[in-house]
């Protein structure tokens, strides 16, 4: 089992460019999440999905879009990157039911110049 994987691991973008971060999990989890981590801010939820074809906004959704076309994949898109989106992005997944622990990917470090 690879668990939760994220692609790419690092990326540098220029302001205004677009990109998509890919999260994949092989644990057949229903729930998937995208967080961003900034110094002194902890982890903040961007968007999440409770199943294939569903998405919902989290705490800081502005400037991001997501899609969950397949159960195992959760895509995070930045249509027009801004320096404020420089961050480390983490994807996570978990099974449905109780608030079970989330399993995290290794993170993607994104720098927007």
Partner 1 sequence: AQKVTQAQTEISVVEKEDVTLDCVYETRDTTYYLFWYKQPPSGELVFLIRRNSFDEQNEISGRYSWNFQKSTSSFNFTITASQVVDSAVYFCALNNQAGTALIFGKGTTLSVSS
Output phi, psi for 3, to 5 deg: 80, -130
Q: Is the separation of the CB atoms in 24 and 32 below 8 Å? A: no
Applying CB under 8 A, which of residues 12, 56, 111, 113 lies at the interface with partner 1? 56
Residues 5-44: x where in contact with partner 1 by CB under 8 A, - otherwise, as a string: --------------------------x-x-x----xxxxx
**Phi-psi region at 109: left, alpha or beta (left = phi > 0; alpha = psi -120 to 50):** beta
In whole angstroms, how close is the CB of 80 to partner 1 at the nearest point? 26
Please give the Cα distance from 102 to 78 (Å, whole number).
24
Binding residues vs partner 1 (CB under 8 A): 31, 33, 35, 40-45, 48, 50, 56, 58, 88, 90, 92, 98-104, 106-107
């Amino acid at each position: 089992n690879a668990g939760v994987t994220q692609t790419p691991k690092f990326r540098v973008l220029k302001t205004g460019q677009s990109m998509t971060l890919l999260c994949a999990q092989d644990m057949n989890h229903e729930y998937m999440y995208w967080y961003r981590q900034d110094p002194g801010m902890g982890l903040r939820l961007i968007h999440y999905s409770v199943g294939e074809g569903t998405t919902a906004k989290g705490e800081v959704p502005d400037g991001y879009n997501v899609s969950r076309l397949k159960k195992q994949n959760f895509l995070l898109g930045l249509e027009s990157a801004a320096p404020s989106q420089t961050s480390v992005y983490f994807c996570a997944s978990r099974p449905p039911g109780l608030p079970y622990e989330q399993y995290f990917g290794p993170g993607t470090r994104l720098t927007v110049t």
